[in-house]
């Protein structure tokens, strides 16, 4: 008999990859998604049960999670910018929604993985940031994620609920949405590059991130759900890399084979300047986890978006534009 895993937010970007990984591992998958940022098309052709609704709806969550061995809670209201415009809406989904899922899991004695964010660190502490580094949220989004992981660990300590709180860093790859005001930086850059539009950089472009290709993240979440991995503290899910945005632009120039126009705007309120994970705990829990290097990951992602949009990026190699000039931009 196969294990049943519920993925909240499973029609979203990371959820779509996780769902595929779980199916490949032979599990039964139920997806809960209100489709506010996810899309039914992300699950097209997959043998999953899709329950359309919010994680704040306890009765809906209870029914969907009946008989589940694990819940992977990815559903969230994303974006620092959105949280600054409507903090209460962000809190309701990210904190109250998580508390709803934990309440259902506690009653059913179901293992839970709660997705938090590297944004909880803010600008506090040296790099790379280990899980015991200070947390200093710079936005309501970051605060809501810190509250979510705090509730998860409180349920583990108070009720004995097996929980894994994971701090995700800048995850990117196929299925990540574009074309809206709150899109993440990598798909936004790729979309502009393929369409021939200027790339907008908020600030000088030397801010750094621990970019993580989505398949590695999905693989670890799948493994954790099946093995019911728990830990008494939050854990970073990233491979400890640090890349600035100008370097990303340089790689995209190499991939598409031409210079890209870049517009520098004002830094965004709530953004963290630098981010990098200490991956030691992750490697202890998931010793076989591997990531794709940035160049190969960007190539795969650009190819997916190009196929989706009908664009035709150049292949890397002869005639490709070297990435160095991008790093020289102001």
Catalytic positions, written as ranges: 141
Q: How far is CA 76 from CA 15, 51, 210, in A?
A: 11, 16, 21
Q: How many CB atoms lie within 10 A of CB 160?
A: 10
Contact criterion met (CB below 8 Å) for 233 and 150: no
On whether the CB atoms of residues 22 and 5 are closer than 8 A, the answer is yes
Judge contact between 323 and 251, C-beta under 8 A.
Answer: yes
- Residue 322: CB atoms within 10 A of its CB come to 9
Residues 252, 229: Cα–Cα separation, whole Å:
37
CB 233 within 8 A of CB 154: no
Phi, psi of 111 (to 5 degrees): -60, 140
SS3 323: coil
Nearest to 117 by CA among 99, 132, 105, 135: 135
Partners of 164 in the beta sheet? 113
Contacts for 172 with CB less than 8 Å, ≥ 6 apart:
184, 186, 187, 211, 212, 213, 214, 297, 301
For residues 25 and 223, give the distance between their C-alpha atoms in angstroms, rounded to a whole number. 9
In order of 73, 83, 92, 252, the CA distances from 295 in angstroms are 30, 32, 38, 9
What's the distance, CA 24 to chain centroid? 20
């Amino acid at each position: 008999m196969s294990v049943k895993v519920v993925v909240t937010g499973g029609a979203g970007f990371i959820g779509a990859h996780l769902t595929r990984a779980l199916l490949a591992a032979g599990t039964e998958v139920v997806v809960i998604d209100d489709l506010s940022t996810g899309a039914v098309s992300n699950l097209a052709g997959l043998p999953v049960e899709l329950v359309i609704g919010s994680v704040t709806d306890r009765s809906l969550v209870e029914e969907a999670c009946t008989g589940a061995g694990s819940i992977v809670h990815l559903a969230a209201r994303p974006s620092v910018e959105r949280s600054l415009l409507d903090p209460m809406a962000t809190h309701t989904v990210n904190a109250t929604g998580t508390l709803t899922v934990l309440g259902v899991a506690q009653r059913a004695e179901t293992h839970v993985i709660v997705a938090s964010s590297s944004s909880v660190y803010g600008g506090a502490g040296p790099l790379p940031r280990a899980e015991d580094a200070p947390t200093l949220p710079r936005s309501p989004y970051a605060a809501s994620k810190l509250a979510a992981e705090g509730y998860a660990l409180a349920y583990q300590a108070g009720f004995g609920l097996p929980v894994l709180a994971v701090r995700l860093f800048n995850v990117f790859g196929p299925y990540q949405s574009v074309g809206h005001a709150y899109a993440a930086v990598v798909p936004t850059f790729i979309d502009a590059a393929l369409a021939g539009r200027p790339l907008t950089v908020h600030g000088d472009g030397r801010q750094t991130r621990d970019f993580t290709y989505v398949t590695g993240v999905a693989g670890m979440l799948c493994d954790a759900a099946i093995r019911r991995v728990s830990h008494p503290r939050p854990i970073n899910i990233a491979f400890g890399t640090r890349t600035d945005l100008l370097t990303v632009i340089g790689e995209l120039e190499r991939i598409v084979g031409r210079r890209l126009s870049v517009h520098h705007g004002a830094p965004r309120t709530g953004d963290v300047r630098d981010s990098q994970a200490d991956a030691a705990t992750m490697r202890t829990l998931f010793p076989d986890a591997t990531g794709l290097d940035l160049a190969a990951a960007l190539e795969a992602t650009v190819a997916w978006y190009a196929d989706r949009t009908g664009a035709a990026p150049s292949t890397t190699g002869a005639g490709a534009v070297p990435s160095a000039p991008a790093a020289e931009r102001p």
